[in-house]
Structure 1
Amino acid sequence: MNINIYYGGRGLLDDPTLYVLNKIQEVLEELRVTVKRYNLFEQKHEIATLPQTLKEADGIVLATTIEWYGIGGYMQQFLDACWLYGDKEKIATLYMQPIVMSTTYGEREGRLTLSNAWEMLGGMPCEGLCGYVDDLVHFELNKDYTDIIEKKAENLYRSISQKVKWLPTSNQAVKKTVLRTQPIELTPQESEQLSKYVSDDDYVKKQKEDIEELAHLFKGLMKQEKVDTEMEYIMSLEKHFVPQEDFKASYLFMIEEKKKPLIIEVNDGDLNCYYGHEEEVDVITKLKADVLENILTGRMTFQRAFMTGEMTAKGNFKTLRMLDKIFVFNEL
């Protein structure tokens, strides 16, 4: 029989969970069980690959210490990795015993969290052990406490060897009917390879750099496309400009899709078009980009756009009517 122990504490000398795990390991080894312990704090950069170590196990122990609140980051990362990269068929056959010791409040909630998480993963949680330890020396010297720990280890061995069955729980029903997170459909080999990539800091860093480079590239393309569209308006106006003698006017076009308005300044034979802000203009118009495009392609005149309400305007209406004279677009 093979049992893996996953310890999610920080490895402090006064951590009561370490004492409990040592006692459990002694009992299991006396029962000729092969025990492997994984200290998550020592393998924090390889946590994503640890679900692959479940393959050879018949049962596991998830142990952590409540120092402030919750089961701790290392254990949570390990459970996340089991959800993302673990072999769900293998997990479904694994018995898990939660061990949660506390130097503050919350050991029962921590044990319940581990049990619920393992059920959500599809595994089979056994009766666990939790307790509050104020004085570690007193805890270690108390024979009654030691007997309780040893019996819990024996119960784990008995559950695995006898393949104890459990009644169905609502956590399993929730997983099947309510949980919307879609697992990654990968073969066990692909999951193992992916978990190795995730734990490789250099690989992850390179991927992030590639993503940032692509993001900058697409932003540049989008910005260039926007600039090209804006220049098309100006180029079309300049191309179809018909100078009028003794005519001077300024127009401001507020295009809904553009952040800055389009300014058109006419001075006899000179035309100046640019995007910006100008307070002193003769005519202010407001229209959508597709309406302006229809005008520039000859499908509609400025006068018609104004009469149909697709373009609104205020200012000197005589100057407004001159738009169709100073800009002549051929109809398609």
Structure 2
Amino acid sequence: MSPNYLKGGHMKILIIYGGSGLADDLSLAAVKRIHTVLNELEVEVKQYNLENTDITEEITNELQSTKGVVLATTVEWMGIGGRMQTFLDQCYAYNNQYFNDKYLMSVILTKTNGDRDASNYILKCWDMLGGLEGVNVCGKIDRFVELETNEEIISVIDKKTEDFYRIIRQKRNVLPTGTENFSKPVIDQHIDDDVFAKMNIIDEYVGDTKTKAKIIEEDPYIVEQRQDIEEISDFLKQQLNKNTNLSGNKYIDRFLEAFICEDSSFTCTYNIIIINQKNKDIILKVKDKKLAGFIGTDVKADVIINVEANTLDEIIKGKLTVQRGFLTGKLKAKGNFTLLYEFDNIFKFTDF
């Protein structure tokens, strides 16, 4: 089935499966076929199933000796599934170089729809991690049995797997993309402007990184001066919002009306860049179940969203969620994607 001339030299590929694990799962059947082809090509294959306990750290360590990665999941409704999304979020938070120059083979199958959106999303995530585009298996298959009996489907998977092998073996070059230059999260903490309260944080542990970040307490007089300046600045910004006819006003008002966050521990700064209108960008700061909004830009925002005005209108009218807009390419975003996904949970818009 697989030509012998492809073989030669040691190669290791990871298969990361994020489907349901059920016997009739589409992507599981595809993974089994890919595993078989790679074994025939004398490739060392190691498979991780994400339905098990958290194994992200183990996988990232394994990446050091890996040439390529297969990410496989089944679209049940929308998106890429909770297991795969959580895994990619954790990979992004690790902020290491193990993903650099690793080729990706994505396997996205469905019995309904959404396979193309999910495939594009997986590739975008891989770009942001620093990986390289390899091949893509994407499509709708009505019955699980077709993956074992339909020769055309089997042939497609076989040829895609062989192409993936060739790409890795030849170290094939790919063009750079815009998403691969997005900044990764910074482990060291810094003090941001805070319109709610001024805090002296001495020691803080950061997530799963197990890295301790320290912030040096400043001289009280300097802190007080900075607080006064910040309070005056925020007051002037709020007055500017009240007294101008910028279209940002209607957006800020809608965000204030739709704000429903009840989690006092949730803190985030969103910067919404309206790309087809100048000087109308919006900053939304969330802390202690409160929301502050004003016109401006913040390059240190946790999440930066680039969107056209008509798309933002759809969002504030409840016709489009931020996550759906991101998946379909109607808006672009960079920063902390866990906080991006929370946007639709803390703002609930209704049509008006």
How far residue 172 of structure 1 moved from its aligned partner, in angstroms, is 2.4
The separation in 2 between residues aligned to 1:34 and 1:182, in whole angstroms, is 32
How far residue 36 of structure 1 moved from its aligned partner, in angstroms, is 0.4
How has the CA–CA distance of structure 1 residues 31 and 139 changed in structure 2, closer, same or farther, with 3 Å as cutoff?
closer
User: Are 2:189 and 1:183 equivalent residues in the alignment?
Assistant: no
TM alignment of 1:79-158, pairs within 5 A:
79-88=88-97, 90-158=98-166
Kept after mapping to 2: 8 A contact 1:97/1:128 = yes
TM-score by length of 1: 0.52
The separation in 1 between residues aligned to 2:82 and 2:61, in whole angstroms, is 20
How far residue 182 of structure 1 moved from its aligned partner, in angstroms, is 3.2
Kept after mapping to 2: 8 A contact 1:48/1:195 = no
Name the residue aligned to 1:74: 83
Q: Point out the structure with max Rg over C-alpha.
A: 1
Name the residue aligned to 2:67: 58
How far residue 49 of structure 1 moved from its aligned partner, in angstroms, is 4.3
Kept after mapping to 2: 8 A contact 1:48/1:78 = no
Kept after mapping to 1: 8 A contact 2:101/2:132 = yes
Name the residue aligned to 1:264: none
Bigger mean CA deviation after superposition, 49-58 or 92-101 = 49-58
Kept after mapping to 1: 8 A contact 2:68/2:103 = yes
Kept after mapping to 2: 8 A contact 1:60/1:97 = yes
How far residue 77 of structure 1 moved from its aligned partner, in angstroms, is 1.2
1:216-245, Cα deviation, whole Å (9 max, x unpaired): xxxxxxxxxxxxxxxxxxxxxxxxxxxxxx
How has the CA–CA distance of structure 1 residues 86 and 172 changed in structure 2, closer, same or farther, with 3 Å as cutoff?
closer
How far residue 149 of structure 1 moved from its aligned partner, in angstroms, is 0.3
What SS is found at the alignment partner of 2:145? helix
The separation in 1 between residues aligned to 2:186 and 2:40, in whole angstroms, is 39
2:101 partner letter: T
Name the residue aligned to 2:12: 2
> Which residues of structure 1 form unaligned runs of 5+?
187-192, 199-332
The separation in 1 between residues aligned to 2:37 and 2:46, in whole angstroms, is 14
Kept after mapping to 2: 8 A contact 1:47/1:77 = no
Give the counterpart of 2:22 among 12, 15, 27.
12
Name the residue aligned to 1:220: none
User: Are 2:46 and 1:36 equivalent residues in the alignment?
Assistant: yes
2:142 partner letter: D
2:44 partner letter: T
How many residues align structurally?
Answer: 185
The separation in 2 between residues aligned to 1:120 and 1:38, in whole angstroms, is 22
How far residue 120 of structure 1 moved from its aligned partner, in angstroms, is 0.9
Kept after mapping to 2: 8 A contact 1:49/1:196 = no
What SS is found at the alignment partner of 1:126? strand
> Which residues of structure 2 form unaligned runs of 5+?
1-10, 190-205, 212-352
How has the CA–CA distance of structure 1 residues 196 and 39 changed in structure 2, closer, same or farther, with 3 Å as cutoff?
farther
User: Are 2:170 and 1:162 equivalent residues in the alignment?
Assistant: yes
How has the CA–CA distance of structure 1 residues 185 and 153 changed in structure 2, closer, same or farther, with 3 Å as cutoff?
farther
Please provide the CA RMSD for this pair: 2.3
Name the residue aligned to 1:308: none
Q: Please identify which structure carries the higher helix content.
A: 1
The runs of at least 4 aligned residues of structure 1 exceeding 6 Å deviation read none
1:17 partner letter: S
How far residue 194 of structure 1 moved from its aligned partner, in angstroms, is 7.5
Kept after mapping to 2: 8 A contact 1:98/1:125 = no
The separation in 1 between residues aligned to 2:69 and 2:188, in whole angstroms, is 25
